[in-house]
Amino acid sequence: MTKLSVNVNKIAVVRNSRGGNQPDVVRAACDIERFGADGITVHPRPDARHIRYGDVRDLKAVLRTELNVEGNPTPSFMELVLEVAPRQVTLVPDAPDAVTSNAGWDTVRNRAFLSDICARLHERRIRVSVFVDPRPAMVAGAAACGADRVELYTEAYARDYAADREAALAPYLEAAEEARRCGLGLNAGHDLNLENLRFFADRIPWLDEVSIGHALICDALYFGLENTVGLYRRALAF
């Protein structure tokens, strides 16, 4: 079964909008674990507009499932993850002012840089996933850099799913097959939701993990957090 890692950034957005500690990000993450999620994802950005570096440290101290920390491997980010040593780090090439991640790495052009980052993370026994667009060449490039997994950037799949789900899936299936040929683990994330998730995971059954935040937290406003985690878990159980 594909694992569900829940991104709790949006919970931090609500907290930060008023100051203080309501809602409590750490408490929410622990509840999400208890409700059946397989892991927690966070993506601290330089402006600390949602998850802060302190949140990452606090979460690492209490979580029992896997902690996945996403981000651009700037010096400050690398200092944090090498200190905290989460189970997985997902390398994302987002600009400091990006609203959300909007592109994968060019793993060919950035091979030397990514190879060095992967080696440093492996020294701390951290699994490395590289965020890529659904292009076989970028997947193969991630393998050449020494990554353990790739995370496929699924915004285009989600955008085109309603019009033609087979066509929307096609490049992802090709990229997923390349990952399998390269011996890479396979993650996916961005705009996956209760409408499009099951089809994606059903057609790529060797998918290791999905990371879902925005849609899941939005659904939780209507269905409740515990029920929503269960709904996403059931979407992955087939």
Q: What are the pLDDT digits (tens) for 145-197? A: 999 999 999 999 999 999 999 999 999 999 999 999 999 999 999 999 999 99
Which residue ranges form the domains of the chain, and what is each CATH number? 3-235 (3.20.20.70)
Q: Is 50 a catalytic residue?
A: no
Mean pLDDT of the chain: 96
Q: Give the confidence band of 30 by pLDDT, cuts at 50, 70, 90.
A: very high
Q: Is 70 a catalytic residue?
A: yes
Q: Is 166 a catalytic residue?
A: no
Find, among 100, 93, 95, 76, the residue nearest to 7 by Cα. 100
Say how far apart CA 117 and CA 137 lie, in whole Å: 20
pLDDT of residue 74: 95
Burial (Cβ within 10 Å: 0-12, 13-18, ≥19) of residue 208 = middle
Q: Where are the beta strands (DSSP E) in the chain?
A: 3-7, 39-42, 66-71, 88-91, 127-132, 149-153, 185-189, 209-212
99-145 tens-digit pLDDT: 556 689 999 999 999 999 999 999 999 999 999 999 999 999 999 99
End-to-end CA distance of the chain: 8
Q: What is the mean pLDDT of residues 1-25?
A: 96
Catalytic residue of the set 33, 178, 190, 209 = 190
In order, the DSSP letters of 150-190 are EEEE-HHHHHHTTT-HHHHHHHHHHHHHHHHHHT-EEEEES
Say how far apart CA 186 and CA 209 lie, in whole Å: 7
Pairing relation of β-strands 88-91 and 66-71? parallel
Angle subtended at Cα 3 by Cα 49 and Cα 22, rounded to the nearest 5 degrees: 30
Catalytic residue of the set 70, 151, 178, 209 = 70
**Is pLDDT at 238 greater than 80 in this prediction?**
no
